Chains A and B, each alone.
Chain A
Amino acid sequence: YAWDANEEYLFKAMVAFAMRRYSSKSTTQISNVLLCNVTDRVSFWFVVTDSSDNVTTVPGSAVEAAIRMNRNRINSAFLLSDKTLQFLKITSTLSPPVEPSTPVWLIVFGVVLCLIVAGIVFLIVAGIQTRKKKNKESTERENLEEKGEVTVTVENGIPCETLDLKAGHVNGVFAADDERFTSL
């Protein structure tokens, strides 16, 4: 926006407002604020006169303090910032950056660490389980082989003990007919 007489009027009003708030006297008028040496750069000098006594000016320290107190209001009236609206010799007090109660990075760190620990625990447990299963499988296989040997001996059909018993028997039918055969 262009800087014209209306803007100057607003500026005078803001300075008067600042003086009123600071000293809590409601006597400062817009006419008490005087601008001079306005240049194209939009830079100027200004003084605030005492309303009771039109000759003396309010001391600079009081004006500085008033403006410092209301800096953000003055800035926002002109849609400017501390950098773009500069008062020479008035340094701005910087607002501290907003700090959340727990630093954000701790939260992120906690999330990452939990994920990793979960992954490690999962892998270790899975490894232990597969090892147990492998051990169980190998012992099962061993048991299976032993049983196989036992069944082999049985699967012949005739158990060995009975075979032995049968081997010793004499077949009475054949033995009795010994005389019928022709002797050589």
Chain B
Amino acid sequence: LSMPPEIPKEDGRPKWDNKFQYILSCIGFAVGLGNVWRFPYLCQIHGGGAFLIPYFIALLFEGIPLLHLELALGQCLRKGSIGAWNTISPYLGGVGVASWMVSVLVSLYYNTVLTWVMWYFINSFQEPLPWSVCPLNENRTGLNEECYESTAVNYFWYRKTLNITPDVTESGTLQWWLILCLATCWAIVYLCTIRGIETTGKAIYVTAIFPYLVLTIFLIQGLTLPGATEGLAYLFTPNLNTLKNPRVWLDAATQIFFSLSLAFGGLIAFASYNPSKNDCEKDAVIVAIVNSVTSLYASIPVFSVLGFKATTAYWDCLDRNIISIINEFDLPEESIMQQNYTAWVSLLNSSYPEKIAGLKLKSCDLQEFLDQSVSGTGLAFIIFTQAMILMPGSQAWAILFFIMLFSLGLSSMFGNIEGVFTPLLELRVVSKSIPKELLSGIICLICFLIALCFTLGSGSYWIDIFDSYAGSVPLLVIAFFEVIGVAYVYKIKRFSKDVKWMTGRKLNFYWQTTWRLISPLLLFIVFMAFVTLQIQKPPSYAAWNPKYEGFPMKEEKVYPPWVQAICVLLAVLPCVFIPLVALFHLVKRTRRSKDPSFVPPEVFSSQGADS
């Protein structure tokens, strides 16, 4: 006998099967691709171990308080983001709408990143791996030129996967292989979110736990690779001088904020399915700490592999120099090894300086190879794929790695989709008779159709635009209004009573200060600094242009005005709902107050009146 689709409670709201599912969903939502490919990069460029200091300060004063706020809000009001903010105050309903808008925009492009992961995954079953060899050119006399000038991994990523255009204005054509993978990804998302949390709750057991297994396997493998220790030493050696740069503090604050997936509305939606008497304070602390520990844990294998890659590149560089020296001077084989390379070079340089100069030896410096830091998609699809070619059994490593990335991204997608789905269900825009399956199907279908434009040749440029503008500034604004809304509109005293009823404990001094004072202040400073830094330089991007003189370096280009307008639109569109909705309600209220026969309803709706 199977359970009915909606496990009813007194108010007919679905609920989690158990507490562990809920915690795992929040952790899965928070732990995403950024933990793997953004945090290690930031650690590296901002002085290694020293970066942990601003990171943990930001966690303490910004991450945990905001997380607790969202979870408590959702659990107390038992509604999605739009409904919850309408309950707090109709004037603040815009905050919920803005959250919903951001969730929609992020869902669109986030799944395209998963499309790329899926494409690499299904290509990992070949021997040899397709990104390890360059294809031949037309008359088979040599390697393909674009591939030869850059590397095989670069070629596979920019040409075979993205088929990238040299400019963001050139749209190129739709890439059919990406469309297939995109359809598959949206089908997977639909499969897992088909009935809301009833199905995501089951799927999350796999998608949230599996990445930890793979990270552990990579950790063990990575530590055994040669050069791993150099990479790790490079990562964790603290350089306290970097703390003087305000950029480091800004990056720490934004990293914590975006890493915890705050202000999307997804966390509010998750918490709203909880029983009312649940300790949300403990949950928030657990989720935040697990997220940060995961970031640290993930950076260890990442940096072992990067150290390994730098070491092999260094050895290759040395070997190439050794071959050219041996060829030039007709020395016997194996007379110059890597160990006595420098001694030999200095000896030869003193006796035959012109010959050595004529050879044009590249200077091989391990630090230089370690310094080549990349974050984001470059880390996963270029650097890591190259490192995996060098490992024995590369297919297995590639398959594991890409399944792990897919699980990480998928569990974050659940949160995004939940942030879109739950408010729509409650808004009563859709009638009750429409089954949940149909609604989630419609959402997935619409998102798939819109996301088709990311499969164009210029798609990855657009994803960068969406990521930098829709997924950054609006979240800061929304979070700021969230804290202000709860602390000063709903009033901390009232919220404190609600939290006490839910957790059984009074809000202690830490929560009160952070919610009232520290977090809003910190958010405001971060927002101003972020916007200032963005405005200072004209927004530019790095284009992959094979016809560029400096190829394989990327060409720095500036966005044309219409693209810049779209960037501003993306950043402003969610935020504009906040004043719009407030204005709408203000106009409605003044119009009602002019009508003498109508008794104006209580503006600040009392708690529970609307539920």
For A93, what are the chain B residues with a Cβ–Cβ distance below 8 Å?
A: 140-141
| Residues B435 and A41 in contact, CB atoms below 8 Å apart | no
Cβ proximity bits B432-449 to A, threshold 8 Å, 1 near / 0 not: 000101000000000000
- Per-residue B-contact encoding for A127-149, CB less than 8 Å = 1, 0 else: 10111011000000000000000
A120 to B121, CA, bound (A): 22
Interface window among B245-253, B323-331, B472-480: B323-331
Contacting residues, chain A, for B122 (C-beta < 8 A): 105, 108-109, 112
What is the CA–CA distance of A120 and B186 in the complex, to the nearest angstrom?
12
Most buried by B among A93, A94, A105, A124: A105
- Roughly how many angstroms separate A116 CA and B185 CA in the complex, as a whole number? 10
Task: Decide if B199 is an interface residue (CB 8 Å cutoff).
Answer: yes
Closest to A112 in B: B184
Could you say which of B2, B187, B199, B331 contacts A41, with CB atoms under 8 Å apart?
B331
Residue pair B332, A41 in contact (C-beta under 8 Å): yes
Residues of A within 8 A of B141 (CB): 91, 93-94
Question: Complex formed: what's the CA distance from A34 to B498 in Å?
Answer: 98
Q: Cβ of B180 and Cβ of A109 under 8 Å apart?
A: yes
In the complex, what's the smallest C-beta–C-beta distance from B436 to chain A, in angstroms?
8
Q: Which residues of A contact B435 (CB under 8 A)?
A: 127, 131
> A104 — which chain B residues lie within 8 A by C-beta?
123, 125-126
Q: Which residue of A lies closest to B119 (CB)?
A: A105
Tell me, yes or no, whether A39 is within 8 Å of chain B by CB. Answer: yes
Q: Collect the chain B residues with CB atoms within 8 Å of residue A41's CB.
A: 326-327, 330-333
Decide if A123 is an interface residue (CB 8 Å cutoff). Answer: yes
Place the interface of chain B in its size category: 35 or more
Given the complex of chains A and B, what is the CA–CA distance between A124 and B143 in angstroms?
Answer: 50
Contact between chains at A108 and B142 (CB < 8 Å): no
| A39 touching B140, Cβ below 8 Å | no
A112 to chain B: which residues have CB within 8 Å?
Answer: 122, 184
CB <8 Å contact, A109 and B190:
no
Known: A40-B330, A109-B184, A130-B4. A120 touches B142 (CB 8 A): no
Within 8 A of A (CB), among B313-355: 326-327, 330-333
User: Closest residue to A122 on the B side, CB-wise?
Assistant: B191
Q: Produce 1/0 per residue, B130-148, CB < 8 A to A.
A: 0001011000111100000
Residues of the A chain whose Cβ atoms lie less than 8 Å from the Cβ of B191: 116, 119-120, 123
Please tell me if the beta carbons of B331 and A96 are within 8 angstroms of each other in the complex: no
Tell me if A123 and B140 are in contact (CB < 8 A). no
Complex: how many Å from CA A105 to CA B122? Answer: 5
Cβ of B194: which chain A residues have Cβ within 8 Å of it? 120, 123-124, 127
Report the Cα distance A18→B191, complex, angstroms: 63
Chain B residues with CB under 8 Å of A60's CB are none
Distance (whole angstroms) from the CB of A35 to the closest CB of chain B: 15
* In the complex, B15 has a CB within 8 A of chain A: no
Q: A41-B326, A116-B187, A127-B195 are in contact. Are A97 and B181 (CB under 8 A)?
A: no
A113 interface contact, C-beta 8 A: yes
Q: How far is the CB of A62 from chain B (nearest CB, A)?
A: 20
Q: How far is the CB of A108 from chain B (nearest CB, A)?
A: 4
Residue of B nearest to A41 (CB): B330
Give which listed residue, B3, B136, B199, B333, contacts A96 with CB less than 8 A: B136
A109 touches B181 (CB 8 A): yes
Residues of chain B from 171 to 209 with CB closer than 8 A to chain A in the complex: 180-181, 184, 187-188, 190-191, 194-195, 199
- Asked whether A126 is an interface residue with its Cβ less than 8 Å from the other chain, the reply is yes
The yes or no answer to B5 lying at the interface (CB within 8 A) is: yes
Chain A hits for B143, CB < 8 A: 94
Min CB–CB distance A8 → chain B (angstroms): 16
User: A120–B190 contact, CB under 8 A?
Assistant: yes
Q: Which single residue of chain B is at the shortest CB-CB distance from A118?
A: B191
Q: Which partner residue on chain A sits nearest B335 by CB separation?
A: A40
Residues of B close to A134: CB separation below 8 A = 4
Inter-chain CA distance A105–B129, complex, in Å, is 11
Q: Which residues of A contact B4 (CB under 8 A)?
A: 130-131, 133-134
Residues of A within 8 A of B126 (CB): 104-105
* Complex: A13 Cα to B119 Cα, angstroms: 51
Q: Which 10 A-B pairs have the closest CB atoms?
A: A40-B332, A108-B122, A41-B330, A39-B330, A105-B122, A104-B126, A116-B187, A105-B123, A119-B191, A109-B122
With A97-B133, A105-B122 known, 20 other A-B pairs at CB within 8 A are A40-B331, A41-B327, A41-B331, A42-B332, A91-B142, A93-B141, A94-B142, A104-B123, A105-B126, A109-B122, A109-B184, A116-B184, A116-B187, A119-B191, A127-B5, A130-B2, A130-B3, A131-B4, A131-B435, A134-B4
A-B contacts, 18 of them at CB < 8 A, read: A40-B331, A91-B142, A93-B141, A94-B136, A96-B136, A97-B133, A105-B123, A105-B126, A109-B122, A109-B184, A116-B187, A117-B187, A119-B191, A120-B187, A127-B194, A130-B2, A130-B3, A133-B4
